[in-house]
Amino acid sequence: MKTDQSKYSDSPRRQINITTELPHQTEYTLALNGEYSHVAFDEVRAPLNKGQWISKIFKFENSIPLDVEIGTGNGTHFAHYAQKNPHRALVGLELKYKPLIQTIRRALNALCKNAAVARFHAFNIDELFSEGEIDNVFIHFPDPWTSPKKPKNRVVCKSNLEVLHRLQKPGAIIEFKTDSLEYFLWAMDEIRESSYKILFETQDLHNSPIKAENFETAFEKIFLREGIKINFVRLQKTV
């Protein structure tokens, strides 16, 4: 798989291993390319859906919105959102096999016909979707990469925001939640340099006016139990 590095020179392609070439297959890798292969795509099959997720995978009319969740974890938000929004499609990106399979299994158990997952690195998202193909994007508790040398691994950063801006439709939103105040403050600086409009931001989501509409993810529950405040921002592509 090759990507046009010149176009996105700030976010070079991140290499990940090829599932079918792993020396040891597990119940999760086998399920990805077996039982769930109609709605779960490995890093080789997923890009074949670029520009065609709605028509080819979900077999809906092209007019329904396509939302994306980055780093689904065990999929509690993913399945909840897909079930609550049957007239929107949802694609989840997850690198690790076990949470990937938990995510799609949870959605299928909830009888969702509008959900699919891809084992894909979020930094390569432009290989999965074409310009203007996606609507809302959810990024809940991505790894914070707090070591001083590691901000280049942070999903919410200026270069990834530029890519997402190209992929999203006008009016679409991004929601970003993190337990790490350090990451949040750093990300807010990156966001202010991007083309997105900030609709709402808080450093304490659970004492904010939008607490009632919030869905607590699995990691969020853990952080709340530890008394950690949740940082949240909602952005919109307006131009």
Ligand X SMILES: C[S@@+](CC[C@H](N)C(=O)[O-])C[C@H]1O[C@@H](n2cnc3c(N)ncnc32)[C@H](O)[C@@H]1O
Residues with a known catalytic role: 143
Stretch that binds ligand X, among 24-32, 90-98, 164-172, 201-209 (CB under 6 A): 90-98
Q: In what order do the strands lie in the sheet with 40-41?
A: 40-41, 115-119, 89-94, 66-70, 137-140, 173-178, 231-236, 197-202
CB of 205 to ligand X, least distance (A): 13
Is 96 a binding residue for ligand X by CB under 6 A? The answer is yes
Contacts for 230 with CB less than 8 Å, ≥ 6 apart:
177, 178, 179, 204, 205, 206, 220, 223, 224
In the range 206-235, which residues lie near ligand X by CB under 6 A?
A: 217-220
Structural tokens at position 233: 């921002």
**Tokens 């909602």 sit on residue:** 234
Is 94 a binding residue for ligand X by CB under 6 A? The answer is yes
Per CB under 6 A, the list member of 39, 46, 93, 163 interacting with ligand X is: 93
CB of 129 to ligand X, least distance (A): 14
Indicate the residue among 8 and 141 with the shorter CB distance to ligand X. 141
CB of 59 to ligand X, least distance (A): 26
Per CB under 6 A, the list member of 30, 64, 95, 110 interacting with ligand X is: 95
CB of 222 to ligand X, least distance (A): 8
Indicate the residue among 135 and 220 with the shorter CB distance to ligand X. 220
Structural tokens at position 145: 């990469």
Give residues in contact with ligand X (CB under 6 A): 70-73, 93-96, 99, 121-123, 140-143, 155, 217-220
